Structures are given as structure tokens and as C-alpha cells.
């Protein structure tokens, strides 16, 4: 006989009782009122009507159905009901997902929230929590337990709830416990009398999603021995020892979930000399292939493949082959499909691109040995003078070279970007002019997400940076003085408790104390105020506030803890401020010049704690957890579906219902407006900004008066030139929309998802 069934809306009496299997394996009589209560709870406070969800429950409530099946079906029904006109269903699905997490945790350990000290003791004993959490007494842990607000778990939409639970939480761990443990560990280096005060501030900022912790911090801080830095940059010197040391360091970074930047500009070119034999070198590509295979083999603890961006200066003789490493044509033995190529571009090259002049590619080994010029270390006027000397010796002293037209070379770069999205472009002179530590070295390239960088020296110091982001979707300008202080202090504390994966990164941490307070949710901040990406003065005001208060916070920390070790002789020590700009610039361009003048004087008096303070990462995945739009860029679309392993997931900005028409869609926005916005913001950010450009190639998108016109290569060319001219520091991905029904998947920056 068929077992009797019951739908949630079925009131017909049945002779056979229906039983469900609970999460702990026990049987219980079906109580439809409990299901209705959960549906009502999940819909409360939203614009979602619970009746369609009750009616849409498709799992027949047969005898023996599991409560987990019922819950999963309610989630699926909610996702199916989600649409541009009814976007709140994604929050209903998120709450139902959290409900399942609560119930699973109750079944797994016997309690939900309410006994945090027991959770700490159990996880430390199981080697799941860093024992440094025991710095706090049981009484202090009880006090911290009282801060937990379970209601904050209900603020996530489905995408955010799923990412949080799948990527960041440990087994039998709830979100607020994870946030609280992170906050307590971050505050553990504070003076004992102040630890709980700062821990509470940290917890509330994280749990209320005003500050987003970068992925390595949120994922690794609680576990023993975790590296907390998001991004690293190292460099290969032109010898086997350095090359293989760099490969080992790359593996160590990848093991801990960090993103790696490796500069290979010192490596001799194809056809160069090896042990006195001419035409013996295989160039940079064989070593890049080893980096490529290392990224695949050391897969971030099984979570995902490692991520490595390899940078090469634009004058290197192998630059053309470097561009072809990810294209389909050519010798497959000289391909590297799993790294992220980056070209480091000098101002002189860009000037020649505009003027359609020739450009000369040379071998750094020959240049150094015959002319005594260490070309990779040079930038600005020093590079330009050396380059003129080099070009004068081409065909005479120098035999390895390739003279090409700069404009045609740039077109080749553009074609590769349209085909593969890369290479990234790093504007070396712009980056190094803004380097506060030019007295100690130079910056060879940018990190994996193009926003964080500082001095690098092969085998001696490797850039590493700890990141978090302010969530402007949840913040008002008036909160910035306090929230910036909190964010900067968090990251400075992170430097004290991290475990750098290799010695050169530890040296860099101690020498420069580089941090990166970033931003996300700018599109939300603008839409809530009915502003657009053309409203540059308002954006400038917002980021001037952020830049000022983050810099001020680091100065205040220097009063308390001392300046970073290389402060003496730095641009900061000379009174220059964000981007190594003189105080006169702030007198002319800031809204409140007097406070910048005072800050300049205070930094000269007391020092500054961190050599780099602000950097805006792409934070694509972490912004979903934060419930806001990613980074400072426009939202791709007001509403779209992203393909995940379990199907399509609705993605929409948080304030879509009330601010729908004020969200400018990036897929329809002229990218010169994006460049202008990034350039405006960059003035107040001392490191970099992850700037992705998205070009729509469909007809009539950008040209309302010319409905048949499509975007041409000339338009993309002008946008990239504009990025350089307006002093943007780098270009991240270049993406294209090829047809009207194109759905852009979310790109995960594998280590800077912060």
C-alpha cells in the first residue's frame, strides 16, 4: 500500500499518523503548525508573503520524511519565488538556511548559542581553536558570551548565508561564535585591562557587518598556526638558488590560502647566455610554468587551487611570448594557463604608445653584464635616462633585442585582454612615485588583486599585507572616525599574531607593518542617497574622510606603540601624506586643509604605525557574506542569477526594493566613468584599488544617439590610456559582454576575498 501523504496546506484527516525523522535520528509526530511557524518567522519583516511558500512546498510530507528534506525544500521554493519584483525571497532562503545550521549544531553538540566557554574549551582540546584564546579567563569568556546576538544571523540572504557556512565556519560552529572568537584573538595583544573593551568593539563591528575581515583572517585566525596575510609579492633573482627558493615560498603561501605575486623581470631572456654559452637560456616561460604547476599542486589546503600572478616589465625581451602564455595558439609546451599574467608598464612606454613610436625589448642579463645597468630596479626619470643609454647601444654593444612599434604592441595587449581578461596592467612609475618607502627600495609590481604592494627584494623582504574592508552599505559618514580607528587597530594587531609563512615575509612585516583597510558597498551608499558614479565630489568627500581617519588612527597608534621600523627617512617622516603627496596638495584639494596640516605635523612628531594603510580589494565573495555590492565598483546587474554547484542563486543589491533605479548597472555603464571614479577615489587611498573594467560589445549600449553603433577597439584603447593619464595605479581584469543575455559569473579573487 502507498503510504499516506500530506501537503502543508492539506487539512484532510488521515487514519495513519505521519512521522518525521529529526536531525538526531529520532522519530516524531508531524506537526504542520511548526512548519508554518518557521515559514512565518522566515518571512517576518520582509516583503515576502508566506502563503506562496506554504503552497509551493513540493515535498510530500510522507511518513518517514526527514526534517532536513522539508527545510531544503522550503529553501528551494523560496529561491524559485525570488525575482526582480520580489527580491526579498533571497532573505527568506537565507534565514531558512541559518535555521538548518542552528538545528544541525543542536543535533551535533547538544546546544546552540548560550555556552561559549564550553565551545572554546571543546575546540581548544580538539586543536580546532588556537590556544591563545585561553588568554582570557573563564569569567571573561562568560562576559564575551553575553555580547552574542543570535538575531544577527538572520540578516543574511541565501548567497551570503551559504558562503559563510560553507567557506568559513568550522564543524559545529555558529556564525556569532566564529566572529566572537576572531574578535577576542584580535584583541588578545591589547593590555589586559583593555582587552575586553577592544574585543567588544571588534566583535560588534564584525558581527553587524560594518567591517569585513579578509578571507585568510576569517578562515585562519581561529585555527592554530594560521597565516592571516591576504597577499604576498616576491621576486626571482637570476640564479637557480633564488628561483627555487621563490618556488618554495610560493608553495608555503599557497598552503595557507594567500595570493602570490612573483616578479620575474630579473630572469634572463630567451636566447641569453648560460654559463658562458650563448643562446642557452629558455627565458622566463619555463620558470613560470613551474610556478603554474606549484599553484595547482599546493591547493590551499584542498579548498581551491593556488593563485599566482606573475609580473614582467614591459621592456623584457620575452614580453611578447609572455602575452601568449594563455592563448590557444602556439607551442602548448610553453603555455601556463593557471597563472595570472601581469605587465609592469613604464610611463615612457605609454608616451610612445600615444606617439606611435618604437619600443625596444631587451635582455636584462646582457644589459647588466655589458652596461652595468640593473634595469628591473629602475623607475621614473632614472629609468628613462638608462633606457636611452640602452637604446643607443642596441645593435652595437647589445645583441639581444627586438624593436617593435609601441602602439602595435599595446594593441596586442588589448587583444589578449579581450580574449582572456588579462594581462593585468601595473603602472610602475605611478606606483613608485606614491611609495612612502622609496628610501628603502622599490615596488616591482602589484599583488594578485592589483590593490596591495610595497617594497620587495629577492630573498630579503617579500611584501605581505593584512586586509579588511569597511562596508559602506551599513555605515554613515559620521561613523567613520570610530570605525576607521577600529579597522586600523584590528589589522595592526593582526601583524602581532599572524604566522608569516616564510622569513622574507616576516622581515617585511616587522620592517613596514603594511595593512590595507579597504571598502565595499559604494554602489549601495550611492544608491541610498540617489547618487550616481558621475557624482565625483560626493565620492571624493566620502573617501577623504576614510583616508584622513585611517591615517589619523595609524598616527595615534604610533603614539601608543611606536612608528614602523623604517619610518625614518620615509615620505611620512618628511610630512608628506597619502600617496607621498606634499601637504600643499592637501591645502589645495581637501575640504578641511587645516586638519591635514595638523596631521602632517603630528606624523613628523610621533611617527606613523603602518607604512601603508588603505587598499581597496575586489572582495567579490566576501561582499556576498557582507550583504553589499563588491568593492567600489557598480553592481554588474540589479538582479541576476549566478551558477553555483547546486544550481542558480539569485544575486541582487541589498536595497534594491527602495533604490532600484539608482543602481547603475556596470554592464551598461561607460567605463570611462568608472575610471574617473576610481581616479577620484585613488587620491585618498595610499596603496591601490582593484579596478576591473567591463566593456559591453552589444549595439547601442553606450551611444543613445547612435543606436547602431557598437563599442570599438578605439574606445577600449582610450579608456586604458585614460586610466594611466588619470594616475590609476593598475588595471585588474578587462572583461567583455558579448551578447544581450550574457550572465557574468562572480569572479573569486582567491586570496583577497575580503
Give the start-end residues of each E strand in 151-268: 211-213, 231-235, 259-263
Decide if pLDDT at 4 tops 60.
no
The reply to whether 467 falls in a domain is: no
Q: Could you confirm whether 40 is annotated as catalytic?
A: no
Cα 358 from Cα 202, distance rounded (Å)? 55
Same domain for 257 and 193:
no
Cα dihedral angle (143, 144, 150, 153), rounded to 10 degrees? Answer: 170
pLDDT at 699: 86
pLDDT at 61: 67
Decide if pLDDT at 598 tops 50.
yes
pLDDT at 754: 44
Residue 643's DSSP bridge partners are 648
Decide if pLDDT at 752 tops 60.
no
Decide if pLDDT at 744 tops 80.
no
Decide if pLDDT at 316 tops 80.
yes
The average confidence (pLDDT) of the chain is 91
Tens digit of each residue's pLDDT (9 = 90 or more) over 195-204: 999 999 999 9
Task: Choose the weakest-confidence range: 134-138, 582-586, 645-649, 727-731.
Answer: 645-649
| 109, 137, 159 - which closes a domain | 109
pLDDT at 572: 98
pLDDT at 302: 55
The reply to whether 379 falls in a domain is: yes
pLDDT at 303: 56
Same domain for 105 and 118:
no
Cα 542 from Cα 561, distance rounded (Å)? 28
Same domain for 384 and 243:
yes
Same domain for 383 and 240:
yes
> CA triplet 603, 605, 610: central angle to 5 degrees?
35
Q: What CATH number did the domain enclosing 356 receive?
A: 3.20.70.20
Domain residue limits at 346: 231-269+282-432
DSSP 38-92: HHHHHHTTSS--HHHHHHH--S---TTEEHHHHHHHHHHHHHHH--SS-TTHHHH
Same domain for 118 and 95:
no
Q: Residue range 57-86: average pLDDT?
A: 83
Same domain for 254 and 360:
yes
The total domain count for the chain is 3
Grid coordinates given for 180: 566572537
Closest CA to 42 of 7, 13, 77, 68: 77
Give me the catalytic one of 321, 348, 451, 461: 451
pLDDT at 739: 58
Cα 639 from Cα 273, distance rounded (Å)? 56
Tens digit of each residue's pLDDT (9 = 90 or more) over 348-391: 999 999 999 999 999 999 999 999 999 999 999 999 999 999 99
Same domain for 121 and 101:
no
> CA triplet 205, 210, 215: central angle to 5 degrees?
90
Q: For the chain, first and last CA: distance in Å?
A: 55
Cα 745 from Cα 737, distance rounded (Å)? 11
Same domain for 299 and 256:
yes
Same domain for 287 and 156:
no
Q: How confident is the model at residue 645 (pLDDT cuts 50, 70, 90)?
A: low
Closest CA to 273 of 153, 161, 363: 363
The reply to whether 100 falls in a domain is: yes
pLDDT at 26: 82
Give me the catalytic one of 76, 263, 447, 466: 447
731-749: b (≥16 Cβ within 10 Å) or e: bbbbbbbeeeeeebebebb
Give me the catalytic one of 449, 465, 550, 749: 449
pLDDT at 658: 81
Q: How many CB atoms lie within 10 A of CB 52?
A: 15
Closest CA to 647 of 72, 111, 1: 72
Same domain for 56 and 170:
no
Cis ω for the linkage preceding 423 (within 30 of 0): yes
Tens digit of each residue's pLDDT (9 = 90 or more) over 474-489: 999 999 999 999 999 9
Decide if pLDDT at 35 tops 90.
no
Task: Give the rounded percent of residues in the chain with a pLDDT score beyond 70.
Answer: 94
Query: Do the beta carbons of residue 478 and residue 462 sit within 8 Å?
Result: no
The reply to whether 8 falls in a domain is: no
Distance of CA 317 to the CA centre of its chain: 32
The reply to whether 252 falls in a domain is: yes
Q: How confident is the model at residue 23 (pLDDT cuts 50, 70, 90)?
A: confident
For 215-284, where are the alpha helices, taking DSSP H only? 215-220, 240-255
Cα 610 from Cα 568, distance rounded (Å)? 13
Q: Could you confirm whether 478 is annotated as catalytic?
A: no
Identify the helix (H) or strand (E) that includes residue 622.
helix 620-626
Q: How confident is the model at residue 334 (pLDDT cuts 50, 70, 90)?
A: confident
153-189: b (≥16 Cβ within 10 Å) or e: bbbbbbbbbbbbbebbbbebbbbbbbbbbbbbbbbbb
The reply to whether 164 falls in a domain is: yes
pLDDT at 15: 53
Decide if pLDDT at 734 tops 60.
yes
Query: Do the beta carbons of residue 519 and residue 632 sit within 8 Å?
Result: yes
Q: How confident is the model at residue 300 (pLDDT cuts 50, 70, 90)?
A: low
pLDDT at 660: 84
| 88, 109, 130 - which closes a domain | 109
Decide if pLDDT at 741 tops 50.
no
pTM (two decimals):
0.93
Q: How confident is the model at residue 60 (pLDDT cuts 50, 70, 90)?
A: low
Q: How confident is the model at residue 304 (pLDDT cuts 50, 70, 90)?
A: low
Tens digit of each residue's pLDDT (9 = 90 or more) over 229-260: 888 999 999 999 999 999 999 998 888 777 89
pLDDT at 331: 80
pLDDT at 745: 35
Cα 432 from Cα 438, distance rounded (Å)? 7
Q: Could you confirm whether 728 is annotated as catalytic?
A: no
pLDDT at 588: 96
Find the length of the chain: 754
Residue 197 φ then ψ, to 5°: -60, -50
Tens digit of each residue's pLDDT (9 = 90 or more) over 163-208: 999 999 999 999 999 999 999 999 999 999 999 999 999 999 999 9
The reply to whether 737 falls in a domain is: no
The reply to whether 539 falls in a domain is: no
Distance of CA 681 to the CA centre of its chain: 17
Q: Is the dihedral of CA 251, 253, 259, 264 positive or negative?
A: negative
Q: How confident is the model at residue 31 (pLDDT cuts 50, 70, 90)?
A: confident
pLDDT at 709: 84
Same domain for 294 and 195:
no
Q: How confident is the model at residue 700 (pLDDT cuts 50, 70, 90)?
A: confident
Same domain for 402 and 287:
yes
pLDDT at 747: 35
| 432, 465, 486 - which closes a domain | 432
Decide if pLDDT at 753 tops 90.
no
Tens digit of each residue's pLDDT (9 = 90 or more) over 121-164: 999 999 999 999 999 999 999 999 999 999 999 999 999 999 99
Cα 61 from Cα 16, distance rounded (Å)? 13
SS3 track for 486-536 = HHHHHHHHHHHHCCCCCHHHHHHHHHHCCEEEEEECHHHHHHHCCCCCCCH
Residue 259's DSSP bridge partners are 231
Amino acid at each position: 500500500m502507498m503510504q499516506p501523504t500530506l501537503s502543508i496546506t492539506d487539512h484532510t484527516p488521515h487514519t495513519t499518523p505521519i512521522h518525521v525523522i529529526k536531525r538526531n535520528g529520532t522519530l516524531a509526530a508531524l506537526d504542520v503548525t511548526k512548519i508554518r511557524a518557521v515559514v512565518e518567522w522566515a518571512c517576518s519583516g520582509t516583503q515576502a508573503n508566506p502563503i506562496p511558500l506554504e503552497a509551493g512546498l513540493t515535498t510530500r510530507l510522507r511518513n518517514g520524511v526527514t526534517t532536513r528534506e522539508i527545510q531544503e525544500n522550503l529553501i528551494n521554493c523560496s529561491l524559485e519565488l525570488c525575482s526582480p519584483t520580489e527580491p526579498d525571497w533571497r532573505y527568506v532562503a537565507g534565514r531558512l538556511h541559518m535555521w538548518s545550521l542552528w538545528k544541525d549544531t543542536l543535533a551535533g553538540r547538544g546546544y546552540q548559542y548560550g555556552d561559549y566557554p564550553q565551545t572554546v574549551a571543546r575546540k581548544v582540546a580538539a586543536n580546532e581553536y588556537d590556544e591563545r584564546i585561553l588568554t582570557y579567563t573563564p569569567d571573561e569568556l562568560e562576559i564575551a558570551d553575553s555580547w552574542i546576538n543570535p538575531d544577527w544571523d538572520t540578516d543574511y540572504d541565501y548567497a551570503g548565508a551559504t558562503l559563510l557556512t560553507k567557506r568559513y565556519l568550522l564543524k559545529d560552529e555558529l556564525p556569532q561564535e566564529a566572529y566572537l572568537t576572531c574578535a577576542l584573538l584580535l584583541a588578545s595583544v591589547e593590555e589586559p585591562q583593555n582587552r575586553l573593551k577592544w574585543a567588544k568593539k571588534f566583535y560588534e563591528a564584525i558581527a553587524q557587518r560594518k567591517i569585513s575581515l579578509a578571507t585568510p583572517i576569517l578562515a585562519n585566525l581561529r585555527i592554530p598556526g594560521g597565516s592571516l596575510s591576504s597577499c604576498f609579492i616576491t621576486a626571482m633573482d637570476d640564479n637557480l638558488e633564488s628561483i627555487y627558493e621563490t618556488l618554495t615560498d610560493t608553495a608555503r603561501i599557497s598552503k595557507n590560502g594567500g595570493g602570490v605575486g612573483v616578479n620575474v623581470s630579473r630572469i634572463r631572456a630567451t636566447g641569453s647566455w648560460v654559463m658562458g654559452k650563448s643562446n642557452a637560456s629558455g627565458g622566463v616561460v619555463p620558470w613560470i610554468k613551474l610556478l603554474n604547476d606549484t599553484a595547482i599542486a599546493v591547493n590551499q589546503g584542498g579548498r581551491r587551487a593556488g593563485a599566482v600572478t606573475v609580473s614582467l616589465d614591459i621592456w623584457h625581451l620575452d614580453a611578447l611570448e609572455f602575452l601568449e602564455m594563455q592563448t590557444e595558439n602556439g607551442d602548448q609546451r610553453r603555455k601556463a594557463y593557471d597563472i595570472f599574467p601581469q605587465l609592469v608598464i613604464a610611463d615612457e612606454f605609454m608616451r610612445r604608445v600615444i606617439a606611435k613610436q618604437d619600443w625596444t625589448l631587451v635582455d636584462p642579463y646582457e644589459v647588466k653584464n655589458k652596461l652595468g645597468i640593473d634595469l628591473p630596479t629602475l623607475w621614473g626619470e632614472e629609468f628613462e635616462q638608462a633606457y636611452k643609454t640602452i637604446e643607443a647601444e642596441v645593435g652595437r654593444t647589445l645583441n639581444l633585442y627586438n624593436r617593435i612599434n609601441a602602439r602595435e604592441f599595446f594593441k596586442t595587449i588589448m587583444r589578449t585582454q579581450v580574449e582572456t581578461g588579462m594581462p593585468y596592467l601595473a603602472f610602475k612609475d605611478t606606483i613608485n612615485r606614491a611609495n612612502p618607502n622609496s628610501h628603502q627600495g622599490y615596488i616591482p609590481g602589484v599583488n594578485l588583486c592589483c590593490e596591495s604592494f610595497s617594497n620587495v627584494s629577492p630573498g630579503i623582504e617579500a611584501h605581505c599585507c593584512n586586509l579588511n574592508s569597511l562596508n559602506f552599505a551599513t555605515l554613515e559618514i559620521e561613523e567613520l572616525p570610530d570605525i576607521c580607528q577600529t579597522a586600523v587597530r584590528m589589522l595592526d594587531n593582526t601583524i602581532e599574531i599572524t604566522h608569516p609563512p616564510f622569513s622574507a615575509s616576516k622581515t617585511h612585516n616587522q620592517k613596514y607593518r603594511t595593512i590595507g583597510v579597504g571598502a565595499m558597498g559604494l554602489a549601495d551608499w550611492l544608491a541610498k542617497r540617489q547618487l550616481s558614479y558621475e557624482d565625483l565630489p560626493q565620492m571624493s568627500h566620502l573617501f577623504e574622510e576614510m583616508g584622513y581617519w585611517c591615517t589619523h588612527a595609524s598616527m595615534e597608534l604610533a603614539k601608543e606603540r611606536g612608528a614602523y621600523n623604517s619610518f625614518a627617512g620615509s615620505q611620512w617622516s618628511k610630512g608628506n601624506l597619502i600617496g607621498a603627496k606634499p601637504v600643499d596638495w592637501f591645502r589645495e584639494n581637501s575640504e578641511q586643509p587645516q586638519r591635514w596640516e595638523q596631521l602632517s605635523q603630528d606624523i613628523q612628531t610621533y611617527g606613523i604605525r603602518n607604512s601603508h594603510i588603505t587598499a581597496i580589494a575586489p572582495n567579490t565573495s566576501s561582499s556576498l557574506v557582507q550583504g553589499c555590492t563588491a568593492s567600489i565598483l557598480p553592481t554588474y546587474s540589479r538582479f541576476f542569477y549566478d551558477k553555483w554547484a547546486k544550481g542558480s542563486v539569485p544575486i541582487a543589491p541589498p536595497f534594491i526594493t527602495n533604490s532600484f533605479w539608482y543602481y547603475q548597472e556596470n554592464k551598461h555603464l561607460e567605463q570611462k566613468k568608472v575610471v574617473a571614479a576610481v581616479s577620484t577615489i585613488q587620491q585618498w587611498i595610499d596603496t591601490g584599488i582593484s579596478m576591473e573594467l567591463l566593456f559591453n560589445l552589444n549595439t547601442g549600449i553606450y551611444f543613445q544617439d547612435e543606436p547602431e553603433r557598437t563599442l570599438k577597439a578605439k574606445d577600449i584603447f582610450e579608456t586604458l590610456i585614460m586610466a594611466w593619464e588619470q594616475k590609476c595605479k593598475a588595471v585588474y581584469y578587462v572583461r567583455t559582454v558579448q551578447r544581450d543575455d550574457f550572465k557574468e559569473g562572480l569572479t573569486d579573487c582567491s586570496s583577497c576575498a575580503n
